[in-house]
């Protein structure tokens, strides 16, 4: 894999914001900060057309984030009034949070995949109760649930609050409605049900959102109301991206790179190894619950230090378990898991 965003990589290592940069095809990358988050920023992309520009993933809704976005527009010789459209790769707050504010300032349309719009319409008046009930389904102890809810605090409500609705729906293969630019949606479900990548064939670019990142693997966790095929869909989507290996990857976090097929293969292998570890751990533990299994797996830091991210760890473990059950490598027996 070849690093293309060397200044971005240097800033990532230094834990600072990277610069605003002009890219091939006239695109501009703008780092929008994420407060109190190890990801630190979202890379927002400005895509100019014949009549104004489209903003891809405006970023987290905060005053510093808004200032960063406005400054990036100014460095590109533009202002909110020049924004004609907003495309959302997926509706997580670090991508979609500033959309409503930017739409109010610009009058721009908002586009996303239909599955993302459907998830926005599930307004939940009691998000903490929904998350707690979901965790109990994996046999997370009540004391742990209480600790997790306290650690998340108001972030649960913010993360699950309805955000800006769509004006335009983009199915797989649909063109983004802008003159003077061949920008096309590629549906890549997994990280979320309606995650989109965006192909710019003339400049040789693929905007990968959170689907494909150069250093970390995105969270592929079972959704609150998912059908158990989250990881299967993600791996299928990864395989599709190998066809765009000649394109430079413009991810939403970290830094630009080349080597889409290689990186997709690395992440696929990571999930295969994870599945093998899960089967071996179930065999070793005997008949664990999903919670017991998750706490016994290897993570990037010790389980006792994961904190609130245990929710994501449980979701990822559950997604792998569902794939292994579907493949016949694990069996569910009431609340416990067994090897087949």
> pLDDT tens for residues 62-97?
999 999 999 999 999 999 999 999 999 999 999 999
Is the Cα torsion angle 34, 38, 39, 40 positive or negative in sign?
positive
Task: Extract the residue ranges of the chain whose pLDDT is less than 70.
Answer: 121-125, 153-162, 224-227
Residues across the chain: 340
**2/24 Cα distance (integer angstroms):** 16
The candidate with the shortest Cα–Cα distance to 131, out of 37, 229, 225, 231, is 225
Token pair of 144, please? 């742990």
Q: Could you say which DSSP state residue 337 is in?
A: E
pTM equals 0.93
Question: What's the pLDDT at 158?
Answer: 61
Write phi, then psi, for 141 (nearest 5 degrees): -60, 150
Q: Greatest CA span in the chain, whole angstroms?
A: 63
Question: What's the pLDDT at 260?
Answer: 98
Question: What's the pLDDT at 339?
Answer: 85
The 3-state DSSP class for residue 79 equals coil
The 3-state DSSP class for residue 204 equals coil
Residues ≥6 apart with Cβ < 8 Å to 110 = 85, 86, 88, 99, 103, 164, 165, 166, 167, 168
**189/218 Cα distance (integer angstroms):** 12
The candidate with the shortest Cα–Cα distance to 185, out of 289, 114, 285, 239, is 114
Q: Could you say which DSSP state residue 196 is in?
A: E
Residues ≥6 apart with Cβ < 8 Å to 81 = 105, 106
Domain ranges of the chain: 1-123+163-258
Question: What's the pLDDT at 336?
Answer: 84
Question: What's the pLDDT at 155?
Answer: 65
Report whether 330 contacts 322 (CB < 8 A).
no
How many Cβ atoms are within 10 Å of 298's Cβ, its own excluded? 9
Number of helical H runs and strand E runs in the chain: 12, 15
Question: What's the pLDDT at 205?
Answer: 98
Q: Which CATH superfamily is domain 1-123+163-258 in?
A: Ribonuclease Z/Hydroxyacylglutathione hydrolase-like (3.60.15.10)
Question: What single string gives the DSSP state of each residue in 12-60?
Answer: HHHTSPPPPEE-GGG-EEEEEE-TT-TT-EEEEEEEE-SSSEEEE----
Question: What's the pLDDT at 224?
Answer: 65
HEC profile of 155-180: HHHHHHCCCCCCCEECCCCCECCCCC
The candidate with the shortest Cα–Cα distance to 23, out of 205, 276, 278, 188, is 205
How many Cβ atoms are within 10 Å of 246's Cβ, its own excluded? 11
Burial class (CB in 10 A: 0-12, 13-18, 19+), 114: middle
Question: What's the pLDDT at 161?
Answer: 60
Question: What's the pLDDT at 121?
Answer: 63
Burial class (CB in 10 A: 0-12, 13-18, 19+), 54: buried
Question: What's the pLDDT at 132?
Answer: 87
């Amino acid at each position: 894999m070849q690093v293309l965003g060397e200044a971005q990589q240097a800033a990532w290592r230094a834990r600072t914001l990277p610069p605003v940069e002009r890219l091939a095809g006239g695109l501009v990358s703008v780092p929008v900060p994420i407060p109190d988050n190890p990801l630190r920023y979202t890379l927002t992309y400005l895509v100019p057309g014949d009549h104004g520009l489209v903003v891809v993933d405006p970023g987290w809704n905060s005053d510093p984030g808004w200032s960063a976005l406005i400054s990036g527009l100014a460095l590109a010789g533009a202002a909110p009034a020049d924004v004609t459209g907003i495309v959302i790769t997926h509706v997580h707050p670090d991508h979609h949070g500033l959309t409503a504010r930017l739409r109010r300032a610009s009058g721009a349309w908002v586009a996303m995949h239909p599955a993302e719009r459907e998830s926005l319409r599930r307004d939940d008046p009691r998000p903490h109760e929904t998350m707690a009930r979901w965790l109990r389904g994996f046999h997370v102890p009540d004391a742990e649930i209480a600790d997790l809810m306290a650690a998340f605090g108001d972030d649960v409500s913010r993360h699950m609050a309805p955000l800006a609705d769509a004006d335009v729906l983009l199915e797989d293969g649909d063109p983004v409605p802008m003159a003077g630019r061949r920008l096309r949606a590629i549906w890549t479900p997994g990280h979320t049900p309606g995650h989109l990548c965006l192909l710019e064939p003339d400049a040789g670019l693929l905007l990968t959102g959170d689907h494909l990142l150069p250093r970390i693997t995105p969270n592929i966790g079972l959704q609150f109301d998912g059908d158990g095929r989250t990881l299967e869909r993600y791996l299928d989507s990864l395989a599709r991206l190998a066809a765009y290996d000649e394109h430079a990857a413009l991810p939403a976090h970290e830094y630009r790179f080349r080597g889409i097929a290689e990186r997709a293969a690395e992440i696929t292998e990571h999930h295969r190894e994870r599945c093998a570890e899960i089967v071996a751990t179930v065999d070793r533990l005997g008949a664990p619950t999903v919670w017991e299994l998750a706490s016994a797996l290897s993570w990037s830091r010790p389980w006792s230090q994961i904190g609130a991210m245990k929710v994501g760890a449980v979701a990822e473990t559950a997604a792998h378990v569902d794939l292994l059950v579907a493949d016949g490598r694990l069996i569910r027996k009431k609340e416990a898991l067994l090897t087949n």
